[in-house]
């Protein structure tokens, strides 16, 4: 039995607003007490602060839990998350953890979905043959996990593409081109964001309020980046059409 399991689940007798009971900690990040205790038992949280017989938690515990949720949003297992958290400095502050989480938070707004084949077909609103599943997997819109399927961003688009009278080989080739260039673009943009935005902010003095506002700024930056990528592709495609017409 862990220390926080032995601690009574009552309000902080010290009256310190900066500290929370396990119930308050769980509620602050939208988890159940049972799940929070389980994460603590796996070492995903540092030991709680003791106040006599009471186990209390602070903003750093909350920041670590939010980091766990961010990594889970990417589909990482708890074992992988344990390894990542173990690599972070033990004295990493709330602001540093918030910056790490902001960089790791999934760009996909939807929660990770693991579906049976029947659920997948209900989501697609059509029957999916084995060839359809192979094509969607080649597109990168889903991943097989045994008898289940993990749905990725663009699944609905991929399903609509299946209905087009285009040879499968052509669709798969187009998907490979998109994946190759998008991964290169994402890598370069992430490096620019880290080097030109995050690192300068991290190296300067900052308050918790500034760190929170900066995290929201990163969220808005991601949204604008996605819009810019779409607009940039449209502009590039139009330029190619213009050059083609000019040559003719």
Q: DSSP readout, the chain?
A: --HHHHS-----TT--TT-B-HHHHHHHTT--HHHHHHHHHTTSSPPPEEETTEEEB-HHHHHHHHHHHHHHHTT--HHHHHHHHHHS-TT--HHHHHHHHHHHS-S--SPPEEE-HHHHHHHHTS---HHHHHHHHHHTSEEEETTEEEE-TTHHHHHHHHTSSS-HHHHHHHHHHHHHHHHHHHHHHHHHHIIIIIHHHHHS---HHHHHHHHHHHHHHHHHHHHHHHHHHHHHHHHHHHHHHHH-
What is d(CA 236, CA 10) in angstroms, rounded to the nearest whole number?
A: 61
Give the least confident one: 11-25, 103-117, 149-163. Answer: 11-25
- The answer to whether the CB of 57 falls within 8 A of the CB of 21 is yes
Closest C-alpha to 14, from 40, 53, 65, 59: 53
The residue-averaged pLDDT of 2-6 equals 41
The pLDDT of residue 132? 92
Domains of the chain, residue spans: 3-92, 108-190
Q: Does residue 61 carry a pLDDT above 60?
A: yes
User: Within 13 Å of residue 14, how many CA atoms lie on the same side as its CB?
Assistant: 15
Q: Does residue 96 carry a pLDDT above 80?
A: no
The residue-averaged pLDDT of 95-116 equals 74
Q: Does residue 70 carry a pLDDT above 50?
A: yes
Closest C-alpha to 147, from 126, 133, 168, 161: 133
- The answer to whether the CB of 51 falls within 8 A of the CB of 14 is yes
The residue-averaged pLDDT of 131-159 equals 89
Confidence of residue 14 (pLDDT cuts 50, 70, 90): very low
The pLDDT of residue 18? 78
The pLDDT of residue 109? 61
The pLDDT of residue 110? 63
The pLDDT of residue 232? 92
% of the chain surpassing 90 pLDDT:
21
What is d(CA 234, CA 229) in angstroms, rounded to the nearest whole number?
A: 9
Q: Does residue 111 carry a pLDDT above 60?
A: yes
For 3-92, the fitting CATH number among 1.10.357.10, 3.40.1190.20, 1.20.1250.20, 1.10.1660.10 is 1.10.1660.10
Q: Does residue 89 carry a pLDDT above 50?
A: yes
Q: Does residue 8 carry a pLDDT above 80?
A: no
What CA–CA distances, in Å, run from 218 to 8, 190, 201? 39, 11, 12
What is d(CA 19, CA 40) in angstroms, rounded to the nearest whole number?
A: 16
Chain segment 191-247, per-residue pLDDT in tens: 888 888 878 887 777 777 777 788 788 878 888 888 999 899 999 999 998 988 887
pTM: 0.58
Mean pLDDT of the chain: 82
Q: Supply 210's token pair.
A: 């500034």
Q: Does residue 147 carry a pLDDT above 70?
A: yes
The pLDDT of residue 108? 63
């Amino acid at each position: 039995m862990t220390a926080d399991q032995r601690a009574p689940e009552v309000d902080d007798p010290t009256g310190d607003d900066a500290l929370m009971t396990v119930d308050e900690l769980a509620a602050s990040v939208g988890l159940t007490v049972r799940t929070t205790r389980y994460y603590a038992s796996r070492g995903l949280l540092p030991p709680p602060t003791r106040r006599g017989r009471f186990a209390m938690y602070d903003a750093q515990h909350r920041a670590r839990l939010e980091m766990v949720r961010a990594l889970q949003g990417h589909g990482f297992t708890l074992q992988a998350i344990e390894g990542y958290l173990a690599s972070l400095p033990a004295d990493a502050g709330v602001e540093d953890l918030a910056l790490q989480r902001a960089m790791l938070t999934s760009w996909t707004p939807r929660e990770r979905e693991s579906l049976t084949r029947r659920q997948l077909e209900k989501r697609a609103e059509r029957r999916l043959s084995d060839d359809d599943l192979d094509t969607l997997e080649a597109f990168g819109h889903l991943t097989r996990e045994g008898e289940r399927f993990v749905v990725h961003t663009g699944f609905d688009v991929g399903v609509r593409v299946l209905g087009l009278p285009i040879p499968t080989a052509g669709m798969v080739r187009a998907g490979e081109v998109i994946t190759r260039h998008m991964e290169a673009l994402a890598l370069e943009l992430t490096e620019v964001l880290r080097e030109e935005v995050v690192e300068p902010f991290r190296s300067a003095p900052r308050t918790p309020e500034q760190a929170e506002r900066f995290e929201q700024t990163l969220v808005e930056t991601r949204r604008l980046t996605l819009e810019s990528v779409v607009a940039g592709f449209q502009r590039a495609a139009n330029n190619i059409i213009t050059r083609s017409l000019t040559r003719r």
